[in-house]
A and B are shown apart, each in its own frame.
Chain A
Amino acid sequence: MKLKNLIYLSFCLLFLGCTNDAEINLKPVSITFNFSHFWQSTAVTNADFNTIKFTNENGQQISIERLRYVISDIVLTHKSGQIVSLKEHNLVDVTNNQNLSFTTSKSIFPGEYTRVTFRFGFSNQDNVDGAYADLNTANFNVPSMLGGGYHYMQFDGKYLDVNSMEAPFNYHAIRAVDRADPNNPTFLDTSLVVDLGAVNVESNTQINVKMNLYEWFSNPNRWNLNLLNTVLMPNFSAQVQMSQNGANVFSLVNVTP
């Protein structure tokens, strides 16, 4: 009994002694995404919520009261050309300061990747009604009359209207749906692929990403909250404009270590 153990142990030690660093590094690793939020160059956390203190491109003053969004579909292209796709998602909940850091539960091999992308929202293929228990529990669904699936983002707050009165806005991004013919709705995938460029994945890689909230209201569509404030989910053109403005919302801060 004891002897056997000893033999086994020495075998293990032998093996360990033989492995070189490269081989150790080949253990699959998970990667971590950290999301931070800005209004132009000013960092925004939930401590900045509930006060009218931001001014958008259209000169309107706003507050933020709720901000949460889904990222999904992480795709890594290895320098060998091989593509790794991680079918995972994460609900970044800035309001409650939850899931701002997301470590993939699936692992990939370390190495040089020429392109890493994630998606803001869900692709049509992944936007399956009721499919994700965590998001159902978080009440993040889109009504079936709008095609079901999930919100990409809920961004709620208040703005000062033409009478300088506080009025609510619900900037809710979803897959665009045109219900001009209610029996034949047409859908447009308005989720966004965010390209982070080349990343060298090591054992504890942190990919730091920032969202510039200002962009949602500025470019290319200068957002007029007096016209587009609430009930934007069923509004096809508003969804398309959100998606266009979303193009420059995310950027890579850096990759550590």
Chain B
Amino acid sequence: MCQRFLLLWSFLLLISCSGSGVNPPEEYKPVAVNLEIPTLFSQKLIAPVIPNDNPLTQEGIALGKKLFFDKQLSKNNRQSCASCHDPKKAFTDQQQFSDGVDGTFGTRNSMPLFNLAWNFDNRFTWGGKELGLERQALEPVKNPIEMHSNWTTVANKLQQDSEYPTLFLRAFGTSKIDSASITKAIAQFERTLISGDSKFDQYLLGNAQLTPEELNGFNVFMDEARGDCFHCHGSENNPLWTDNQFHNNGLDATFKDLGLGAVTGDPNDNGKFRSPSLRNLIFTAPYMHDGRFATLEEVINHYSEGLKNSPTVDPLMKKVNQGGVQLSPKDKADLKAFLLTLTDNDFVNNPSFQN
């Protein structure tokens, strides 16, 4: 007891001395942030995943945003994450394949970024290669067909910057910048990208009306005898509009891109890709992992009569031997009208997400 008292006393003494310039490092405590979860999400879904070792803070999120838009993360300072993930386009680009800093094109369509904290299996990208958002963010920087830099160079560049060292100090308690803290900050920003305010959400909350066409389209989506989309793409009870699972939805008879199979090495996973969310489709064309469909009409025609059989095709593609679910022209048009009610204009215009 007495000893502790002495210790405390000497500590107080030290503190009172510190005004004079022999400062111990000042401990800045970043301000904790709770995600603003849309009403329907908190009503219907389990809580989002925030890793224990990377809690959200105001300083971390702001730093992550700055990094997300910073071209210094690329080899020649010409590309940022936002070059392929544009907030105005629900964080995708409207190209089939994105060109990296060297002008080389990838083989996958850039993915929209929202509601990522609700991907509970934590498997990211079309084929599920990246486990966790922090891990995912490591990849584009060094990928030769993306930003084609390396982490030592990037960390050095940022270390020399006039602003970054202070920002890292405030967010993570150290001004030493490395790939771990950079990707932590980016992941924090990414987790704040939440889209949950479309016309359909407002309809569910009783604040908007759907047209008869949109309502019929929703029924096509939910009807096992017609579209039967809900088994993979969510429903009014799963406002993510995806199951975040991997399926082969009948795009090809043979695979150029093995998808999940390339990650697991299991041939039963060949041709399986993660179901994307159907929110914000108006901004995210072209569609599918390889951007093969330019329009939603083409997507709907695919499910209606364009299915290709293969050993791993999902049994939920139940009419695969007849080419698809054979929707009437009216049901197709209405299905599209319904899909567009999942457009969230506030998300793409949210000032917190713009550069």
Which residues does A use to contact B, with CB under 8 Å? 49-50, 65-66, 129-130, 133-134, 136-139, 141, 143-146, 154, 156-158, 161, 165-170, 229-231, 233-234
Q: How would you classify the secondary structure of chain B's contact residues: helix, strand, loop or mixed?
A: loop
A167 to B311, CA, bound (A): 10
A68 to B96, CA, bound (A): 36
Shortest distance in angstroms between B107's beta carbon and chain A's nearest beta carbon?
26
When distances are taken between beta carbons in the complex, the residues of chain B under 8 Å from A134 are: 46
B46:A137 contact, CB within 8 angstroms: yes
19 CB contacts below 8 A, A to B, read A66-B315, A130-B237, A136-B238, A137-B45, A137-B238, A139-B234, A139-B238, A143-B222, A143-B230, A145-B223, A156-B315, A157-B315, A168-B316, A168-B317, A168-B318, A168-B320, A170-B315, A170-B318, A230-B319
B44:A145 contact, CB within 8 angstroms: no
B222:A234 contact, CB within 8 angstroms: no
A146 to B320, CA, bound (A): 24
Which residues does B use to contact A, with CB under 8 Å? 43-46, 118, 120, 219, 222-225, 228, 230-232, 234-238, 240, 243, 245, 268, 309, 311-321
With A137-B46, A141-B230 as known contacts, state yes or no: A158 contacts B238, CB within 8 Å: no
With A130-B237, A134-B46 as known contacts, state yes or no: A145 contacts B222, CB within 8 Å: yes
With A133-B44, A231-B224 as known contacts, state yes or no: A141 contacts B317, CB within 8 Å: no
A136:B316 contact, CB within 8 angstroms: no
Across the A-B interface, give the 10 residue pairs with the lowest CB-CB distance, nearest first. Answer: A168-B315, A230-B318, A143-B222, A156-B315, A139-B243, A50-B268, A130-B237, A141-B237, A136-B237, A136-B44
When distances are taken between beta carbons in the complex, the residues of chain A under 8 Å from B312 are: 50
When distances are taken between beta carbons in the complex, the residues of chain B under 8 Å from A158 are: 315
- Cβ-defined partner of A129 (8 Å) among B45, B120, B237, B316: B237
When distances are taken between beta carbons in the complex, the residues of chain B under 8 Å from A231 are: 224-225, 228, 318
With A134-B46, A136-B45 as known contacts, state yes or no: A141 contacts B238, CB within 8 Å: yes
When distances are taken between beta carbons in the complex, the residues of chain B under 8 Å from A130 are: 43-44, 236-237
Shortest distance in angstroms between A173's beta carbon and chain B's nearest beta carbon?
13
When distances are taken between beta carbons in the complex, the residues of chain A under 8 Å from B319 are: 230
Shortest distance in angstroms between A256's beta carbon and chain B's nearest beta carbon?
31
Q: Which partner residue on chain B sits nearest A171 by CB separation?
A: B315
A143:B223 contact, CB within 8 angstroms: yes
